[in-house]
Structure 1
């Protein structure tokens, strides 16, 4: 079976520099979902010239975004090869030379323009680059993007045009050979759109092949492009200079009225609003394209014959220096930069941290008021057990719900940056776990200090430390559970799934139903409930091997703490085993999250 597509990237040398011509020939891709297969691209042929800005036109569903993703190696369910000068290229090296800016480019909301570009430069440029060199790169990009007036503005306060320019700026840092943009002018006014296209022309003049998908450009905007590629139902209906498209269409019997928008005319033709034979147009466009390619190949051979070996060596040195700029950093180097970024975001997002801390303090005071001094009284054992169980409930849900709401946005930024080869999943996730840990300790400690003391629990150092360790672990499990649900299912579904999935685990915790009272067939299910281990752990920390409780009556059956534990069917296992099991739950959830991230990366490339 012949390859479905080939992408040839030949080199056109001029004045000792290397210019890149991206050529797509016999390109086809079929969706591989569970529903019946749908062919998206059909034997598509075309090329994108260096030093010029090419616009891809076509109606919705024509395959424009699919084409860009294939060139950017974002799709893996495509058969074929990518070659440069007829030689099959390493996928990783090819991806470093191509940058893809999607229509929805996610930015971290609590970073300024300066910080966003600086962090991107630190991640993408050579580790040997000093601070002064990095700041020079950032300043040059800011100046070319006309963003100097809002350098210290947070990303969540930028206008649509400023966000678009910033999203392109973070990819300009390494001066990519090929820049692919999916609808960069969507949501912008005409002035901002024209400024953006002019900026892309400046990038193209610096030896960059620029390709844009524009849904419906105005007459003024279309005049700013050099080449046009037209797609319809996965087929190429024209590829070549903008000046020749009307002549080609007129050969097929489609005449554009005077002073008419070229883009609107082309879209009307390929969507059959003007009648005519589209099959004949397709054949004529292919014939005209072959003539253009033969002419360009002839010119390219003439240029190659004029370049001597000295110039070739110079070109090779230029390529080597460019590749050296984007050498991949080690995991430790990536972690340091990501840790710096995480600290900046934590410092800026202080409102959420303050709310979480205030909530824990208020709930701790509320529990202390309601269950005041119940811990040492034998007459209030039932209420005190309920209070201890509420510790676990509150800490779990207070960390799970914010995580499921906030993390999907951060995960979208990670996926985008990882696919653009900024950093590895291992570096990102290790920093995420590390930076979350102090916040968890900060929230758990004041809550437990207040509620533990006010409810009259035994004021012994080892017992308090045991209780604190159980509460910290259930907090970590809650946040990890929220991250997993938000990553796998999104915010809306995750908010429903967290309480729904937790109910079954709570039923087997040993609080509502004693473990020894469960059916013999249901008892094994209690071993998969982390609430069961956390509840038994906090009960052992408070009641195990403790002196008799105070009781005002003559006879109190539950005066003895050992009888309280026996009544609850505890202890079943030593305390250190309970901590090990909870730690294993944390590790298990992290492994699942890591796997989900890998699946999302794989799915994003399909």
Structure 2
């Protein structure tokens, strides 16, 4: 992961981690043009083989510290991070670190076992055999107690099981340093104790395990070896759990008997302003002790220098496996999740079949009737609108969830943006094409369109291109907007494009200022393409049951629609340009999402 140029994170590639240290770490955010400092030049050390709790009042900076130390948040972060008291290369550092956020997004339609197996395939090198990966997954399942839910889909497992599964995803790569942001939030006391007990076991295996935790009980607190107390972005106490109460007592804060030490520390941290002299003295003592401990660990003359730019710049991201293998694994995972998704498979496919039957019944046998040409033209437009809205809206409701999974896994160096981008397009394309084909064939033959192979193929080609355009449009909207905004953004932007299709108002009747907009509307190319496939290419006279039919000749229909001078292949090319632009937009939006979430 590329870290921000203002952060210096320097680490050698080591086999054994003895300590993780940070010095003069600060973090600022821009709020309405004003810089707000969340972390204020704090320092500290976390030892390996020990479980450390980061506690403090809400807004004290616990999550910000986790994000900064893990490398998942880089913009606005300054300071030094060292391993074994040595400077570290940022790329190597990210290979040593695992970070589990407070709410880890997971794919809901994949089972627990499959989730771990896919993580193993993405995080472990190709040299690791399938048998070895299976053993790793089985060991993680046994360690975290996930045997009962191993074959359950993620969407039906409990909150505690989700927390343990999120831990298991990071254990796959056997990280040396692990950060957890409030892993017990939303859990009852029994589940919380189980989760922290698992963290304790991880620490006993020689890892450096740090967890931000909110108001732990006395029983839960006893599982931790060290405590780091944060208040208002500053360190109030760092040391062992046993020494915390005596240290606070030396500063004048006496803990009542049988009082929860964590609650007492939080009480002091929350009332810093009420007794500034004592707390200021305590913080200065902690800072002095920490600086004395860290003194001499690195060259002071480089403090604040931009060593990251010298060491890390130009180094390329290294993934455990090739991009092609990433693409294959992601395509398989996405296809599996799609097939198990009720909305994206059965309902989507059945909806296309059902609506195709409805359109066929309402516009039954109007395709070869000169007296019903206007009805048939309306049928063509209705088919286009259904294809666009059904494919765009289905994707836009599910893609934002996958975006959060993509951001998390990309930050964990699982795969590249290109691999995810290609896999998403390839995995979703067959379902879209199958649904559009079923809809088009049912509606085409029930409405009595001309049964000529070339016309059927041309008609299907336009429908498939419009479905492809709609699906990509939904993906772009889902990647840019939040899930509560995107369902409104798609219709509000699609409807204006429908107005310039040439169906509701002919091109010659538009005001001059609006005419250029018809060339950027995909509905124009779709509607023209369907009209030409239906009535163009030297079609013979249209059948008519009445004595006089004005639209008996197909040329009259094309003139009425003002598409008599249009070219089918230009319409195909127009939709092709739209698809290309949407693909580029999707890739750019994915890259921007990653940049915004640094």
Q: Please give the TM-score of this superposition, normalised by the length of structure 2.
A: 0.91
Deviations 1:279-304 (A, max 9, x none): 54243344245446756989x9xxxx
Deviations 1:437-478 (A, max 9, x none): 110111011211111111111111111111101101111111
Q: Is the 8 A contact 1:10 1:21 kept in 2?
A: no
Q: Is the 8 A contact 2:499 2:505 kept in 1?
A: yes
1:513 to 488, 493, 505: 505
Structure 1 295/335 Cα, relative in aligned 2: closer, same or farther at 3 Å?
closer
Q: Is the 8 A contact 1:43 1:235 kept in 2?
A: yes
Equivalent residue for 2:543? 550
Deviations 1:83-140 (A, max 9, x none): 4466653322211111110001111111111111111111111101111111111111
Equivalent residue for 1:233? 232
Q: Is the 8 A contact 1:24 1:47 kept in 2?
A: yes
Equivalent residue for 1:79? 78
Alignment of 1:372-521 (within 5 A): 372-521=364-513
Matched, 1:366 2:358: yes
Describe the SS at the equivalent of 2:98: strand
Q: Distance in 2 between matches of 1:169 and 1:347?
A: 25
Alignment of 1:308-323 (within 5 A): none
Q: Is the 8 A contact 2:9 2:89 kept in 1?
A: no
Q: Is the 8 A contact 1:481 1:589 kept in 2?
A: yes
Alignment of 1:195-344 (within 5 A): 195-272=194-271, 277-288=275-286, 290-291=288-289, 294=292, 328-344=320-336
Q: Is the 8 A contact 2:193 2:220 kept in 1?
A: yes
Q: Distance in 2 between matches of 1:507 and 1:327?
A: 47
Q: Is the 8 A contact 2:11 2:92 kept in 1?
A: no
Equivalent residue for 2:346? 354
Mark the runs of 5 or more structure 1 residues left unpaired by the alignment.
301-325
Structure 1 456/435 Cα, relative in aligned 2: closer, same or farther at 3 Å?
same
Equivalent residue for 1:122? 121
Structure 1 50/282 Cα, relative in aligned 2: closer, same or farther at 3 Å?
farther
Equivalent residue for 1:147? 146
Structure 1 463/563 Cα, relative in aligned 2: closer, same or farther at 3 Å?
same
Structure 1 526/20 Cα, relative in aligned 2: closer, same or farther at 3 Å?
farther
Equivalent residue for 1:27? 25
Alignment of 1:32-111 (within 5 A): 32-77=30-75, 78-84=77-83, 88-111=87-110
Question: How many matched pairs?
Answer: 573
Say which is worse superposed, 179-188 or 351-360, in terms of deviation.
351-360
Q: CA offset at residue 80 of structure 1?
A: 4.1
Q: Distance in 2 between matches of 1:272 and 1:90?
A: 40
Structure 1 446/280 Cα, relative in aligned 2: closer, same or farther at 3 Å?
same
Structure 1 220/87 Cα, relative in aligned 2: closer, same or farther at 3 Å?
closer
Q: Distance in 2 between matches of 1:498 and 1:327?
A: 35
Q: Please give the TM-score of this superposition, normalised by the length of structure 1.
A: 0.90
Equivalent residue for 2:589? 596
Q: Distance in 1 between matches of 2:292 and 2:17?
A: 18
Matched, 1:539 2:540: no
Deviations 1:304-351 (A, max 9, x none): xxxxxxxxxxxxxxxxxxxxxx96211111112112212322332256
Deviations 1:183-211 (A, max 9, x none): 00111122222222221121112221000
Structure 1 288/9 Cα, relative in aligned 2: closer, same or farther at 3 Å?
farther
Q: Distance in 2 between matches of 1:349 and 1:23?
A: 45
Q: CA offset at residue 515 of structure 1?
A: 0.9
Say which is worse superposed, 146-155 or 339-348, in terms of deviation.
339-348
Q: Distance in 1 between matches of 2:523 and 2:7?
A: 54
Q: Distance in 2 between matches of 1:355 and 1:592?
A: 28
Q: Distance in 2 between matches of 1:446 and 1:553?
A: 33
Mark the runs of 5 or more structure 2 residues left unpaired by the alignment.
298-317
Structure 1 293/209 Cα, relative in aligned 2: closer, same or farther at 3 Å?
farther
Deviations 1:517-536 (A, max 9, x none): 21222100111110011000
Deviations 1:509-551 (A, max 9, x none): 1000101221222100111110011000100000012111122
Equivalent residue for 1:573? 566
Deviations 1:487-528 (A, max 9, x none): 211222111121111121011110001012212221001111
Q: Is the 8 A contact 2:12 2:86 kept in 1?
A: no
Q: Is the 8 A contact 2:369 2:543 kept in 1?
A: yes
Q: Is the 8 A contact 1:56 1:231 kept in 2?
A: yes
Q: CA offset at residue 277 of structure 1?
A: 2.9
Describe the SS at the equivalent of 2:228: strand
Q: CA offset at residue 407 of structure 1?
A: 1.3
Say which is worse superposed, 260-269 or 496-505, in terms of deviation.
496-505
Matched, 1:562 2:555: yes
Q: Distance in 2 between matches of 1:33 and 1:344?
A: 42
Describe the SS at the equivalent of 1:38: strand
Q: Distance in 1 between matches of 2:21 and 2:125?
A: 30
Alignment of 1:109-188 (within 5 A): 109-188=108-187
Q: Distance in 2 between matches of 1:69 and 1:295?
A: 24
Describe the SS at the equivalent of 1:559: coil
Q: Distance in 2 between matches of 1:392 and 1:407?
A: 23
What is the alpha-carbon root mean square deviation over aligned residues?
2.3
Q: CA offset at residue 31 of structure 1?
A: 0.4
Describe the SS at the equivalent of 2:377: helix
Q: CA offset at residue 247 of structure 1?
A: 1.7
Q: Is the 8 A contact 1:8 1:85 kept in 2?
A: no
Q: Is the 8 A contact 2:11 2:89 kept in 1?
A: no
Q: Distance in 2 between matches of 1:53 and 1:206?
A: 11
Structure 1 296/570 Cα, relative in aligned 2: closer, same or farther at 3 Å?
closer
Structure 1 387/55 Cα, relative in aligned 2: closer, same or farther at 3 Å?
same
Structure 1 258/471 Cα, relative in aligned 2: closer, same or farther at 3 Å?
same
Q: Distance in 2 between matches of 1:506 and 1:118?
A: 45
